Each structure stands twice: as C-alpha cells, then as structure tokens.
Amino acid sequence: MSDNRHYTTVLVIGSGIAGCTAALRLADEGVQCTLITSSSSLDHGNSALAQGGIVFKADDNDHKQLEKDILIAGHNFNSVKAVHGIATKGPHAVEDILVKRLGIPFARQKAPSECEWDLTREGGHEAPRILHCADYTGRAIMDGLIREITLHPNITVLKNRTAIDLLTSHHHAENPQFQYELENECLGAYVFNEEEERVETMFADYTIVATGGIGQIYLHTTNPHGSIGSGVAMGFRAGATVHNMEFVQFHPTAFHHHSGQKFLITEAMRGEGAKLMNSKGEYFMPGYDKRADLAPRDIVARSIVDEMLKNDDDCVYLDTSEMKHDLANRFPTIFKRCLELGIDIRKEPVPVVPAAHYSCGGILVNEHGRTTVARLYAVGECSCTGVHGANRLASTSLLEALVWADTAAKHIKQRAHLPITEELRSVVPDWMPLGDDHNDDPALIAQDWSRIRNTMWNYVGITRTSQRLARAHEDMRDLSKHLHTFYKSTPLSKRLIDLFHGCLTAYIITMAAKRNTTSIGCHYRAD
C-alpha cells in the first residue's frame, strides 16, 4: 500500500480507558491493532481526570442492589439487560484486568477487615462499593494501561491523528455493486495526520470508536478540549443509530473561580460527609430531596441552579467541616489544585457550580459493543449501551468502559479470521481535497465555537423549554449549513475537523431534546 493507504486488523479510534482496554485485550490474544489518538499523548481525555473511582462490589451478593441503584438513578429508562450485564460482569472485569493484569494500586484497608479494599460511597449508591486510588483513580488506571500499550508488540500507536470520517461500503465504494448489498460495512477511517498535514486512508477489518464525550460543546464543562463528540458525529454520518443523545449529565460540583478555571470536585466528597450550602450558610439539599446531598446528579445539579437563582448567586459552596478524613491525603489532587487557586479545603468551603460532564447517550450498541453498521464497534462514553438510561449513576462510567471494551475485544477476536476483501479496499478512493481557499481564520472558528457553546448552555442545558429548544434548533441548523459550505472550500486542519464534528454533535443533541417532550432524568423540561 502507498504511504497514504494503511491496513490493520483492528483500528481503535481513541485512547481513553475504553480504547486502550480494547486494544490491550485484543493484542493479548495475538490480534494486530492500530490505536490512534488526536493528541501527542495517550492520556489527554476524560479517563485520566476521573477522580471518584470505579464501581466494584460491596459484597459477593451486591449485584442485585447495584442493579437497583443503577435503575433508580436512570429513572428506569435503562436497558435492563445491559444493567444486569454490568452488575454481574463488572467485579470480574475489575479483578481480571485492573487488579491482576495491570496491578492498579487501589486503596486498601489499613486495619484487618473482611474486605481488603477501602471502598467508598457516592451519591445514589446504597452501599460503599467504589474502588479508588485517593482522588486520582482515572490517572492511576491510565498510567497502567499506557505502560502496557506502549510496550506491546501487537499494538501500533499513532499520535496526532484526527479521524475525519468512517469509511463504509455504502458511502465510499466507487463500484456501485457494493451499494446493492443490504449490509453497510465499516472499512476503517479517513484520518488527518496533523504533523504532515495530509489525510491517510486507514483500512481495518474491524473499527472501534472510543472517542469519549461531548462536554466541550457546552460553555461550562469538566471535560478536556478533545471532548467534542467526534465519535457520535462520525457514527451518525456513517449511518449508525445514535440513541438517548438528549440525556447530558451535568456534574453538580465543578470548582468555580473568577479566572474561569473549572475542574471536577468528586462526588466522593459528599459521599464521605461534605454538604452543599448556599451563600447564607444554609444546607439546602434536604429541602429538595430526602436523600439530601446523596441524591442522584440530575437532582443535585438542578437544585444548585435553583438555589443560585433564588439567591442571585454565581455559585454555591461545598462545606467539608464535618468530613472525618485528612483531606490533603484522601483528596490530594483536589486539595492541591484548590490550594493553588487560594482555597484551603481543610479550612474553608469550596465554591462550586454545575458543568456539562457526561453524555448518557451515544452510538447505539448491543452487549458486545456492536453498532448497527457491520464491523463497527463503539465503547466508552461515545456509545449508548443502555446502562445509564436517563441519568448515570456515579462511578459507573469507568466500569462500563472496561466491561464493554473487554466484551467487544472478545467478540472481534472470534471474527478476526473474516477480513474485508482486497477487492472492496481497492474501490475506496483516497481523500480528495475539498478546496483551496485559505480562509481557515482562527477568529471565525473561535466565533463559531462561542456560538455553539452559548447556544447549548442557554437553550439545551440543565433546564429546557420548547421555546429554547426551537431557538437552538434554528441556530444549529443555520450554523451547520454554513459550516458545510465552509468545510468544502477550505483545506483541512484539526481545528476545522473538530469544529465540524462539534457542530454536528450539538445539532444531534438539540434534535433529540426537541423530539423528547417528556421530562425525565438529565432531560429536564420546565414546560
């Protein structure tokens, strides 16, 4: 193949816990994988930022209670099959992959106990069942994965590669005979090589999309810069079914600072005794829900917004005075970052606001991570397994990513002997440049991003109405048309690809929210 055309057994797009786990499990079985990341490192996504931990088990009979907790948090809009699957498979996956294979140093009990692990509890959980590494669980898991990924002979890592579009037999095969086939097959992806400023055609027998979340299409978010919904946008364009996109979870407690800096303040702090209070020093959550500070995220986030509006405040506060832990040791990351911004969490309350945090919807997949497009899998936050329903239960996201990455790898391994044909690859052309008008103006792109983020925050945010959603639909439709024209006349760049993906994702979410007239979970309709 030419320098622009590459072939691999499995192409993994994304390098968080889902993508890395899938690649590692396949590679351990002897399957050749190519893993691409849009950054210069493998840990630039949400996974490394996860603080609270990963769901394990309170005891050997905990799976039924865990199922119940997930269904309650998800407002019973969940896939019962998927919830049962994660509750029963989860503990084994954690032990097998994270403890035995990677040796992740989860916190252990200091004194002899029936359980060797120091399990914590978060909002919505009836019992302590969450494994953690202080408040940097995601960082510890990613360190272990990156170590093994980097050394594995069956994994090729390509950095600074941004996926543009998924290749499919119905959309890209120039021989019309393939378009008469009922089954649309994914054949890999067009990928932008940022260092060399060229587009590569990457063929794969199987493609796994693991691109993470969508938070950066909102004005306020805990997500890193790459979380713009690229996987959802590409899956949608390829013809894959997307589902539950209206259910965007806003984390109740992101650090609020006049500089605009925001970072996650884990729910584990409330699980271990911290309480939300308003500017008057009043603990307000008991007035909104009987579970008070341990209510599910959607309820807490709306309660905070209501309290802020009631008191005309920019934030509320997380009071840590009744917490029994040595906060500097139990939550070292949060302690350090707050201290750098002038807040000592041992002595004063932490200013917090809600922020876009997690997408409960995504590319629809089955229990094996398969999408509705043949040879295409999706794992992690960009997928919709049905586990979360209308609202995610705290600390289930890392577990979902781990379990579905593992099952997707097993499913692909069983089919690795069925490659796409050389004939099919031969009729897929390389990327054709769309235009040569050098109008990739940073000011124009910044303005378009500002329009997307403000529209989504104000109209498709924590509280929605028919009028707001109608306005958002108009704005996103018009911007999408404009960007299609702009996209066709301008040479590709990473920032242009990201803008195109982000705009399409915003439009998909807006349409889903507009269609769903029922107020449920993260999708709260005030009318």
Whole-number Å distance between alpha carbons of 444 and 287 = 46
Beta bridge partners of 255: 352
Q: Between the CA of residue 242 and those of 215, 217, 245, what are the distances in Å? A: 17, 17, 7
Check if 297 is active-site: yes
Pairwise CA distance, residues 31 & 25, whole Å: 9
CA distances from 386 to 74, 84, 87, 289, 357 (A): 9, 11, 13, 26, 18
**Calpha distance 68→355 (Å, rounded):** 27
DSSP readout, 37-61? -SSSSS--SSGGG--S-EE--SSTT
DSSP designation for 29: T
Token couple for 176: 């019309």
Single-letter code of the amino acid located at 305: V
How many angstroms from the chain centroid is the CA of residue 24? 19
CB atoms within 10 A of CB 496: 19
Cβ neighbours of 112 (radius 10 Å): 6
Burial 39-54 (b: 16+ CB within 10 A, else e): beebbbbbbbbbbbbb
Instruction: Assign residue 154 a region (left: φ > 0; alpha: ψ between -120 and 50; beta: otherwise).
Output: alpha
Annotated catalytic residue, options 25, 297, 425, 453: 297
Cα–Cα distance between 11 and 527 in angstroms, integer?
Answer: 44
Judged by phi (left if over 0) then psi (alpha if -120 to 50, else beta), residue 414 lies in alpha
User: DSSP assignment, residue 421?
Assistant: P
Beta bridge partners of 168: 186
Residues sharing a CB contact under 8 Å with residue 417, sequence separation 6 or more, in sequence order: none
Long-range contacts of 468-471 (CB under 8 A, 24+ apart): 469/510, 469/513, 469/514, 470/514
Bridge partners of residue 188, in order along the sequence: 167, 203
Catalytic positions, written as ranges? 297
